Amino acid sequence: MAQKVYVGMSGGVDSSVTAALLKEQGYDVTGVYMKNWSQDLPGFTCPWKEDYQDAKRVAVQLDIPFKMYDFETEYRQRVVDYMVEGYVAGITPNPDIMCNQEIKFKIFLEAALIDGANMIATGHYARIVHGDRVELLAGQDANKDQSYFLYRVREDALARSLMPVGDMDKPHVRAIARRLGLATAEKKDSQGICFVGKVGIKDFLLAELGQQQPGNIIDQNGLTIGEHDGALFYTIGQRHGLDVGGGLPYYVVGKDMAKNEVYVTSDLQDGRLWHRDLKLTSLHWINDAPAEGRSYRVRTRYRAPLVDCTITHTNSTSTIHLNDDLRAITPGQSAVIYDGDRVVGGGIVV
């Protein structure tokens, strides 16, 4: 009997091709649209209805069963509240990583297994090696690789997951969609927050929290050089959107949420901009913790270059020792460790 696979179909081309490939490979495929967010925001219409219809059209084309799972309550509690609380605390969390950890590879997986599935599948550009030890590898296409967002997925969840487009690049995926005449073949990639649509973080936070108290922007000399519209909107290393004049560009180097102050510098050599060591908490290792004294590579944000490093561990934290100084390390973001193409795991920068 064929393995029963539930494919998370978002209404995009990647998950559409994922479903098509698995059906071609002989799996018993069911398409599932995860309804995680349906709220419109001021000036932005949530695209969930359009995405749902696109996913359903492809399921009809592929002649596979199709259903919807409603995870709005869980998404609000586990992803949106996590993100908003992080910004209020003055850090910069990553909602997409939490969405993968808590929604796609946790409650979706659990619901699918209860429903009779053997496995789930997604359209992520990453690779899973199934064997005695299940490993997560970077996607074959370095330009589309999404393994950074998947480092918190547990090994037992990866063992029940498939990512068939991880061996391909985007043009190849589009070509398959065109060959099969899929309704999503020319659909543009989604932008913005996971499932929310083309809305920026600032607009989303304004909708959630309302206007914020303005405060002072203070430079490296202790001088007040402008006013911000809410310290929580500013990210360490940020250059744009400061709205302070004076010729040289300014970079955010710190925030004091209690004083409602944002600290900036125009000195690119300012020590607060550069780091040689990173302390990580909320650690997650997919297989085993990285060995001390061995050389690894680390990525400190999506699309950031990989940097050589070593690691030391102390109780519930790990310290990443970089071979080169790195600029604009942001508390709340994730640092992800790689051993070659293999994702070792990582943690949250403090």
Catalytic residue set: 99, 194
196 CB neighbour count, 10 Å cutoff: 24
* Contact between residue 227 and residue 217 where contact means Cβ atoms under 8 Å apart: yes
* Contact between residue 194 and residue 124 where contact means Cβ atoms under 8 Å apart: no
Question: What is the identity of the amino acid at 327?
Answer: R
* Contact between residue 342 and residue 158 where contact means Cβ atoms under 8 Å apart: no
Q: How many CA atoms lie within 13 A of 54 on its CB side?
A: 23
CA distance 250 to 263: 10
* Contact between residue 134 and residue 26 where contact means Cβ atoms under 8 Å apart: no
* Contact between residue 283 and residue 150 where contact means Cβ atoms under 8 Å apart: no
CA distance 342 to 126: 10
- Quick one: the chain helix, strand, coil %, rounded to 5? 30, 30, 40
* Contact residues for 114 (Cβ-Cβ < 8 A; gap 6+): none
| Paired sense of beta strands 126-129 and 215-218, if any | unpaired
- Give start and end residues of each alpha helix (H) in the chain: 13-24, 48-62, 72-75, 81-88, 95-99, 108-114, 155-158, 170-179, 201-209
| Paired sense of beta strands 334-339 and 342-349, if any | antiparallel
Cα–Cα distances (Å) from 227 to 182, 209, 303, in that order, read: 50, 19, 31
